[in-house]
Amino acid sequence: MGAGRGEGLTTSGAVGSVVAVRRQSGTGARTMAAVSDTAETVTGAGARKRVLLAKPRGYCAGVDRAVEVVEKALDLYGAPIYVRKQIVHNRHVVETLTARGAIFVEENEEVPEGATVVFSAHGVAPEVYEQARERNLKAIDATCPLVTKVHQEAKRFANDGYDIVLIGHEGHEEVIGTMGEAPASIQLVDGPDEAEKIQVKDPSKVVWLSQTTLSVDETMETVDRLKQKLPLLQAPPSDDICYATQNRQLAVKDIASRCDVVIVVGSVNSSNSQRLREVAVDAGARAAYLVDFDHEISEEWLEGATTVGLTSGASVPEALVEQVLAWLAERGFTDVEEVTTAEERLTFALPPELRRDLKAAARS
């Protein structure tokens, strides 16, 4: 179901919503062919109008799982299902799940005692689990396993007496959750210019970790600045910036220098989508724009453009990209070339507490 599970689109009848759009082998290629079969459009200057479509794009394994958790919880327990914070940072996903009976809240206190609550893909601090226990909530944890990995690293290094420098965006839910694992040991650095402020108790025992959805290039710039002050700074045991973030950035980098304009489908509060827009400009696109929906695209952005790049953040259903492609085709951008820089096949199992209940329901 995630971007790594195949190609093409279909909808799941069991779920019956646009959120349930799933990728299957073949259909995507047919869509491209159908678009390409139409008459080639030529500008006044004689240049062909085309779209370079980055792949991988859209749903990652963690988002796919988190959305499925809410869908399955609605099917199994019935509405309403409470979700603490946006399950993933995408307007369309949140609106669609709301229409199905999900109620999005900011904190556990808004959830009635004894009700079911899903924790979002971005992860939560340990105190949030504790609050849920105190309110007798049935908690289902949709935290992405790759975020959980960073939490575990933070706990382990804190227990071993390390100072931890967390590179991330202040106020982002993932950062709040990770810092909550070891608040006394973690300091946040939000960009290279903040490297100077770090103070540690033992410069030989410091490690950096990061938010999963950062710009790879900017993070390494921050690490370089930190190393000027802390030469013995240790790197995380494995990449904290996740495979999906890295793959989408590499894909957009690959097309950006050939594009006049890059359109990134994604929401403004989506960190990885925002980074895609920045990476596109840094990699040579004349301009890059972030839109939730096709109707937000301005005709003016395309003035004089012959090549438009298109990608989408890790929380964006493919149906929204298809709508943008249709919008572009109506304006003469009928020649679509999908540029693939990586294949993704990673999937994550549903949380054990939900799997257990699904099994029990299947037996009864």
Strands, E assignment, the chain? 10-11, 21-22, 50-55, 81-84, 102-105, 116-119, 138-141, 163-167, 186-189, 206-210, 261-265, 287-291, 307-312, 335-340
52, 117, 230, 244: which one contacts ligand SF4 (CB under 6 A)?
Answer: 244
Distance from C-alpha of 145 to C-alpha of 27, rounded to nearest angstrom: 29
User: Which of these is catalytic: 174, 181, 318, 344?
Assistant: 174
Residue 60 interacting with ligand SF4 (CB under 6 A): yes
Please check whether residue 115 is in contact with residue 132, taking contact to mean a CB–CB distance below 8 angstroms.
no
Contact between 73 and ligand SF4 per CB under 6 A = no
In angstroms, the CA 190 to CA 222 distance is 9
Closest to ligand SF4 by CB, 131 or 249: 249
Q: Which of 4, 56, 62, 317 binds ligand SF4 (CB under 6 A)?
A: 62
Distances (CA, A) of 316 to 48, 64, 292: 28, 10, 9
**272 is a contact residue toward ligand SF4 (CB under 6 A):** yes
Print the binding letters for residues 210-229 with ligand SF4: x by CB under 6 A, - otherwise. --xx----------------
The length of the chain, given as a count of residues: 364
Q: Is 95 a catalytic residue?
A: no
Q: Binding string to ligand SF4 for residues 245 to 264, with x set by CB under 6 A, is what?
A: x-------------------
Contact between 146 and ligand SF4 (CB under 6 A)? yes
Q: Give residue for tokens 């006044």.
A: 44
| Binding piece for ligand SF4, criterion CB under 6 A, among 25-33, 48-56, 141-149, 216-224 | 141-149
Question: Which residues belong to the active site?
Answer: 174
> Which residues of the chain form contacts with ligand SF4 (CB under 6 A)?
60-63, 121, 144, 146-147, 212-213, 242, 244-245, 272, 314
